[in-house]
Every structure is written in C-alpha cells, then in structure tokens.
Structure 1
C-alpha cells in the first residue's frame, strides 16, 4: 500500500495536480487498489486532521493579517522603516526588508508579506532607479521572513503535528527571524554599493517620531499577542481571535481606512486561503496515517540512523532532505508528513523539539524561494509582469545563499532559537 501511495502521488505531482487534491487522490487510490482498509477511512482521517481547536488559529491569524493590511498598517510600517534606514546606501531595499520584518509580526504568511509590502516597494524601487529584477527578487526573498517572526502559521502546524508548545515556538522564531532580516539587509547593502543605489533624504527627528507615533498601533499587535500568551492571559488560538478584534478596531476607529466592503473582502480572501491550507492539512493527515500504518517512518528513520551517528550529522541530513522537499512540496503538508518521520530520530539524538521546529520551518521557508514550487517567486513576479521567471530566480540567488548560511547557524547554534524561550520560561 505504501508503494502505491508514493507512486500515485509522484505521478500526480508530475502532472501538476494541486497538492491538497493530489494527496487525497493518492490516499484513495492506495486504499482502493489494495483493499486492505475501506476507502471511507480517508474521509475519517481528513476530519480527524482538522478536529483541533488549535487549528482555528490559522484562519484567525489570516483574517487579522488581511484586516491589518487593508486597514492601512502596511503603508505606515513602510513609512517608519523609511525613516529608520531609508537614508543609508540602498535605502529603499533596506526599507523593503525592514518593512517585511514589521509586517511578519502581523500576518504570519509569506505570500501575504510579499504582496502587502511589495505592492508599494517594488514600484518605488524601480522609480528610484533600482533594477527591476533586483526589486522583485528582493521581495521574494524578504517575504520568507513572514513565516519565521511570530505569529507564524507553519509554527502552529508544527506544534499540532509534533505536540509541541505553540507559544514556545513563537518565541523561538523571534531571534532567527531577526537574523534572516539583518542578513538580507547586509546583502542589499553590498549589492547597492556595487550598483550605486542611493539612499533617500535623511529624516529629521520630528519626522521619525511622527512616523513612529503613526505606526505604533500596528507595532503593538505582536506585543499584545506574545505578551498575552506568555502572560497566561490567553492561548495562541485565543490570541488569534484577539488579533482579529484588535485589527477591526484599529482599522475602523483609529486609522479609519477600513470600511464594510474592505472588511468583507478581507474575510473572503482569508477564507479562500484558509480553505486551501486546511485542505492540504487534512489530506496530508490522511496520507501520513497510511504511511505510518505501512511503517514508512520507521523504515526511513532506520535508514537515516544507519548513516547519522550523532546529532550533528542527523541535522545535516535532515537539512538536505528538507531543502529538497521544500522545492517540491507545500510547507504545511511537508511539516505534517515529515515531522512524525523525524520525531523518533530527534528524540533519540536528544535534539530539542522547539529547536528542531525552527530548523524545519526555516528549511521549508527557503523552499518558497526555490523552483519548481517557489511560491514567493511567482507571487513576487505578479508584482511586475515584465520581469521573467529566470530573471527573478537569478536576482534572488544571493539572498538564497545567505538564507542557507543562516540555516546552518540556526541549526548548529541552538541558543539562537532557545534563548528567548529560556529567558521567559
């Protein structure tokens, strides 16, 4: 049954069948052909995969992110970032990355970060004389920060799949997210020096303070979320609901840029995106159950343990496997399917489960920047139609290299992920 599952799924991937549908069809085919288990078990497992209170955090955070975007938060964060780093060489590029870091603390989604910040920054960079391919490639890379800095939807998925604390995962993502952002900014600065990209006009103290005051409501949201979770006021799922209410209040009554029509649109967009993610999670759960029944995780774990003699070698092999997987599979599905496979090995080698969660999510995030899947590449490409895919890929390559270097630092320096967790424990 396991062989049939993998063969059918591989064929469907090659045929470019949507991932959620492909995993469901592969699971049905495996059960129907072998007739070991009734096919209705697939539906049962799909329902079981979604029968979790914690999963409510995914659509709620998506709604909050959309409301904050349409409520005027993104442009105010860009204004603050401009006043902070805009005057430096390559200022607009640095602004784009810093604004993505700010917005990541609101949205929890990489594609949403690319669109919200890129829709403003790509035209601005091109108008200022930046190369079009650089502007688009930068946004594809900077958007990856959207799922590292909390709140993060993949961290919610990992926490559920691996029975790990979502609150601790959120805190563990703070320093790695900042590391990724600063690294991308360093690459931007070097490229800007070589190409002669100038900074913007140096801001005054008054304009900086004005932009800080204007954006303070948006910056307060992640502090409310993380403070509430670690203060024991609410759970991560309840925090997502609080974020939705907060977004509505700020958009309607503080910035006054959100109206009923925009609210309905935000709910609709978040609903469509959430449905796609939930379909992937549900079918990945069914597929994962079949793989577990066929003892595929045990076989894979045995094969890896025969090569990996210590934790360092294990993590190196895991990184290679996940980087390849990230090129081919949606990150939430990969987390649900591969997480339980690696769990026995991680436990055996005494790798911290929270640290491993950060490693796994960063790996799969890099997959957003690598073809053939490369979601961020396509989303960023939609911002500037006259830039070809190969141009975007070439422009994003220096950023891809620095992200892989960051991954190795995060892998072999656990304190980068666990310092905040230990500090607040």
Structure 2
C-alpha cells in the first residue's frame, strides 16, 4: 500500500506545489499511477465518462446559471436593502446584514464564491463607509459567503450525494439548521470584533419603508421557498428544481425587476458554461483518482491503519475533522469528496456514523476551507473586490475561523442539529 500511496498522493501534491490547477493535477497523477500500476489507460476515459453521465449532476450547471441570473436580476441588492432596513440601525447592524443576506443568497446560488461576488461589491464598500475596518469587513463577507455550500440548494451537497449515494433532498433539508448555526457564530464574532469601532448613525426605518423593501425583496426570498417546497412537496426532483430556479430567475429578472435584458442571456450562458465546465472537469478527473484509491487497496489500507490506532468514535471524528480542515486549505470541496470519501466511508460504517450526518460535517469543514489561507477561494474574491492584500484579510479572518470551528464541533458531536429536520419531515 505504501508504494501506491506514494505514487498517487505524492505525485498529486508535487503537482499542486508546482501550481498546477487541481483538475489537471488530479488527472496527471491518475495517469502516472495507471502507468506505474500497469492498468490500461482506456480505464481513464471510461471512468471519466461514467462519472459525469449521471442525471443528478445536471443540477450543477442549472444551479450555477440560476445563481448568475439571480445576481444579474438585481435580487442581491434588494435582499441587502431589506436586511439593512430591518437591522441596519442596530450597533454592528451591517455585519448582521452581511450574514443574513449571505444566508438568503446562499439559498439561491448554492456557491460560496458566487455569494461573495454578488454581495461583496455592495457590502464591503458600505461597511467601510460606515466605520468598519476594511480587512474585517472583507473577511466577514468571505466567511459568510461560505454559507453558500451549507444552506440548500448546494452544489456541494449534489456532489456529496452522488459520491456517497445519499439522498440529495435529505442533504438539502439537513443543511438548513447547521447553515443558520454557522451564520449565527459569524454574527457573534463580528459583534465582538467590532465592539470598539465608531459607527455612523443609521436612522431606524419607518414601517412603511420596511414594508416597501420587503415587497421589493419578496421575489428573491421566495426563491428557496419555491425550490425547497417543490422538492419536499414531491413536485419535482432536486435536478428539476435547478431548472425551475433558472426559469424563475428569468421571469423575475425580465418581467418583475426588469433589470435583465434578453441581450444579457448570451453572456450569462457563456459564463455559466465555463464555470460548469470547470466543475465537471474536476468531477471527472477526481473520479479517476477515486477509482484508483479504491481499486488499488489504498482506501482499505488507510482505513485499516486508522482503525488499528483507535476505534473510539470521538477520536476518529476529531482526526477526520483535522484531515478535512487541512485538505480544505489546499483543495476544493468537490475534489475532497472524491479523494477522501472512499477512505472515510468504510470507517464511518464501522463506527456507526450516519452518512447523512457526515455529509453535513464534511461540507462544513470544506466551507471553512473556502476562507482559510493559502487557497481560500472566497478570500481571493473578497480581496479583489476590496483591493486589499491577502495577508491583511488573512489576519482579519482568524476570529471567524475560530467561531466556525466551534460551530463545526457542535455539528459533529450533536447529530440532532443535522438530523432533526429530516426526521421531523419523515424523510
């Protein structure tokens, strides 16, 4: 097993250190291993095709397109305005607004970077102008954007459900409370960090102003209601829900808000196609990597080694969390699912951890990775918007990483947080 691990994982990490894109690194390390292990290279193309030829994965390009349409339609600024009218007058109100709107937009986009991009261009300048330190404001928006892969509909949950063979509908509903807990922890941290800031006074919105902003934002607020309500009402599947989200976004953007023009659709389609192609390339390359991990006995060997050290469920979950937190610093969630799940699933079955519950644990870990240096993608998006250095935002993000890990531990050791909603709905 040692030689197999060294060949596959060693070549992968060497390629990453050479700054090779993750999808390419996964593919090249897989090809190297196939040659070394004298496996026919035809396996590569066959496995790539079979990994992507799944109806469920159609949800990914549709949710990506839906998120782009919603952003272009003007939904994000209306959500921000409503949240600002509701709580913006409170001390630290804009920090609360950042997290609340991230929760709402997460339920539209399903993506962390998309949430940061859509909200950051409005919230970061507003927080800077209101008296927040720009590094802290950027770090908060980057951290809150990670809620995008926890609160449904989540692209990450779609991939986890495919890899682990867990109901995507159950994953969606199970992610709601952990996502809200994650957001609450960020609000607490932001209020503590900003307690010594001098803020500009913000007048309290009148009931009429609050009602007007709510009516404007209602079409955006209804998006997750329609998507999740349709899924759990048995009207459509998660994959079909993604298609419904696209047409709903088009309707709202073109006919209600009238900010989306027919001429914009071509560029939106191209952008969504590029983003989808990147995701699917990672899925297909990672699937070959995972196939090698499984067939060469690497997953079994590592699992047996871990079980030989301890069978204590508490300790094993701590070890898995540490591995996932470290992995999240360097690789994206989709790659992590394909690389690590073949190793973890046999262990989880032995120690009796529900794969639904572990899906939430793993996704929260990888959400934290989105705003953890050195490869936290949300940090780079926020840096680009705020025009600040990575070192500045990396220092400011530390309190948010700490409270997120506390939330992660609660989610890990109190399964009820993740499972009670599916149980309540009889799922």
Aligned to 2:302: 300
Query: Shift in Å at residue 265 of structure 1?
Result: 2.1
Cα distance, 1:2 vs structure 2 = 4.5
Residue 332 (structure 1) aligns with? 334
Match of 2:12 in 1: 9
State whether structure 2 residue 250 is matched by structure 1 residue 266.
Answer: no
Cα deviation code 1:286-318 (max 9, x no counterpart): 011011111111111111112332322221111
Once residues 308 and 412 of structure 1 are traced to their aligned partners in structure 2, the CA distance between those partners, rounded to angstroms, is 18
Give the equivalent residue in structure 1 for 2:183.
Answer: 181
Q: What value does the CA root-mean-square deviation take over the aligned residues? A: 1.2
Q: Is the 8 A contact 2:293 2:342 kept in 1?
A: no
Structure 2 residue corresponding to 1:109, chosen from 111, 115, 130: 111
Give the equivalent residue in structure 2 for 1:20. 23
Residues 89 and 198 in structure 1, CA contact (< 8 A), matched pair in contact too: no
2:200 and 2:183 mapped to 1: Cα distance? Answer: 20
Q: State how far apart, in whole Å, the 2-side matches of 1:33 and 1:360 are.
A: 31
Q: Is the 8 A contact 1:327 1:371 kept in 2?
A: yes
Check conservation: 1:367, 1:374, Cα contact below 8 A.
yes
Equivalent-residue separation in structure 2 for 1:306 and 1:85 (angstroms):
52
Contact 2:157 2:168 survives alignment (8 Å): yes
CA distance in 2, matches of 1:21, 1:250: 38
TM superposition outliers: structure 1 runs of 4+ over 4 Å:
none
Per-residue deviation, 1:228 = 1.0
**1:371 positional shift:** 1.8
Deviation at 1:199, TM superposition (A): 5.4
Distance in 2 (CA, whole Å) between partners of 1:2 and 1:397 is 33
Distance 1:40 1:419 in 2: 45
Other structure's SS at 1:382 match: helix
TM-score of the pair, normalised by structure 1: 0.97
Q: Deviations over 1:304-360 (max 9, x none)?
A: 112332322221111011111111111111012211211111111111111100000
Q: 2:42 aligned with 1:44, yes or no?
A: no
Per the alignment, residue 409 of structure 1 pairs with 410
Q: Is the 8 A contact 1:2 1:290 kept in 2?
A: no
Q: Is the 8 A contact 1:2 1:296 kept in 2?
A: yes
**Following superposition of structure 1 onto structure 2, how do residues 61-100 of structure 1 map, counting pairs within 5 Å?**
61-100=63-102
Aligned equivalents of 2:201 and 2:246: distance in 1? 36
Query: Please, which of 342, 347, 350 is the counterpart of residue 348 of structure 1?
Result: 350
Partner Cα separation in structure 2 for residue 4 and residue 101 of structure 1? 41
Matches of 1:245 and 1:33, distance apart in 2 = 48
1:393 match: 394
Deviations 1:167-213 (A, max 9, x none): 00000100011111111111122222222335522111111111111
CA contact (8 A) 1:90 1:198 kept: no
Structure 2 length normalisation: TM-score?
0.97
Contact 1:106 1:221 in 2 (8 A): yes
1:23/1:287 contact within 8 Å kept: yes
Asked if 1:419 is matched to 2:420, the reply is: yes
- Counterpart of 1:135 in structure 2 is 137
Aligned pairs, number = 423
Contact 1:126-1:132 at 8 Å conserved across structures: yes
Cα distance in 1 for residues equivalent to 2:329 and 2:184: 24
- Report if aligned partners of 2:289, 2:338 keep a CA contact under 8 Å in 1: no
User: What whole-Å deviation, never above 9, does each CA across 1:4-48 have from its counterpart, x for those lacking one?
Assistant: 2222212101101000011111111122234x2111211111111
Instruction: Assess if the C-alpha contact under 8 Å between 1:86 and 1:199 holds in 2.
Output: no
8 A Cα contact 2:139 2:393, kept in partner: yes
- Distance in 2 (CA, whole Å) between partners of 1:5 and 1:304 is 19
1:62-87 deviation line (CA, Å, top 9, x unaligned)? 10011011001001100111012101
Structure-2 separation of matches of 1:374 and 1:18 = 14
Segment of structure 1 superposing worse, 298-307 or 403-412: 298-307
| Equivalent pair of 2:131/2:198 in contact (CA under 8 Å) | no
Higher deviation after alignment, 179-188 or 399-408? 179-188
Cα deviation, 1:350-387, whole Å, max 9, x if unaligned, reads: 111111000000001111111221111111100022x1
Say whether the 8 Å CA contact 1:91–1:199 is kept in structure 2: no
Moved more, 61-70 or 1-10: 1-10
